[in-house]
């Protein structure tokens, strides 16, 4: 997964999750919408492995 930062006019989105075909899989509208992003990541990539540590904020 790549993380890219940028800005665009005409949207209030604070984050996007793009599928490999460049369709939007998730749009965040709050700076701390971690639960929404986790749910989208679980939907598109599957549940995390149990021994994987959570990244620090």
What is the tens place of the pLDDT at every residue in 30-52? 878 888 888 998 998 888 887 76
With a CB cutoff of 8 Å and minimum separation 6, the contacts of 37 are 15, 17, 26, 28
Is pTM beyond 0.75 here?
no
Give the helix/strand (H/E) hosting 38.
helix 34-45
Please say if the pLDDT value at position 56 is more than 80.
no
Both tokens of residue 4? 């890219």
- Residue-level pLDDT at 54: 65
pLDDT digits (tens, 9 = 90+) for 7-22: 778 888 888 888 889 8
């Amino acid at each position: 997964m790549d993380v890219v930062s940028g800005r665009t006019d005409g949207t209030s989105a604070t984050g996007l999750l793009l599928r490999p075909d460049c369709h939007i899989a998730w749009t965040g509208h709050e700076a701390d919408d971690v639960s929404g992003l986790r749910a989208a990541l679980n939907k598109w990539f599957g549940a995390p492995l149990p021994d994987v540590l959570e990244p620090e904020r």
